[in-house]
Copies of this chain bind each other. A is one copy, B any other.
């Protein structure tokens, strides 16, 4: 697979909804960060932003990353180091977008995900097609807690269709993100002759 060299992902801990649909900040989860970093490396993404404004959480992630990049973890498990080196911390979505802009000299297109259907959502085929424009950076956001707030969805370039389960839309953010990345960038070589080949390597 060619991978998503123009696709950045962000795991958003604020602003998201809590259980009571209030705007809140969630705590960082070690496993989310590991799992998403490993997915990011698998699909050859250029960066994975952990978005949180909370100083305590920032320090926690810094400690985690240091352990695997420079500490004992780096010796114990070099493949984890490879994945976690993709992590960047940012205090807001906008700060992450600023950094992408700085690298690309182009504003990244913001693509948000969620579990609810919406008439304005684009499907995976369309999103795959968009990502083939390698001149444009994309920033794909995953919400923790009870999901990204509505205002964020309203201020995005694209809203991605939810993963349709049979009357059940309660995947963890880890597994949902993995499925979404595979749908966007995964090898489609099994679909012989149906794909133009610019992503799958055949």
Contact = CB atoms under 8 A, between A and B. Distances in A.
A79 interface: yes
Nearest to A201: B164
Interface string A34-54: 110011011110000000000
Contacts of A41: 165, 168, 170
Contacts of A124: 190
A125 B165 CA distance: 20
With most chain B CB atoms within 10 A of its CB, the pick from A169, A172, A189 is A172
B170 A80 contact: yes
A79 B125 contact: no
Nearest to A36: B175
A17 B172 CA distance: 27
Interface residues of A, number: 44
A119 B128 CA distance: 29
A182 B168 contact: no
A166 interface: yes
B3 A170 contact: no
A166 B39 contact: no
Contact of A172 (B38, B43, B163, B176): B38
A115 to B, nearest CB: 10
B175 A186 contact: no
- In order of increasing CB-CB distance, the 5 nearest A-B pairs are A42-B165, A175-B178, A125-B190, A44-B166, A179-B182
28 contacts: A1-B164, A1-B166, A35-B171, A35-B172, A35-B175, A38-B171, A38-B172, A38-B175, A41-B170, A42-B165, A42-B168, A42-B169, A42-B170, A42-B171, A43-B166, A44-B165, A44-B166, A79-B168, A79-B170, A80-B170, A83-B170, A163-B186, A175-B177, A178-B179, A182-B182, A182-B183, A191-B191, A191-B194
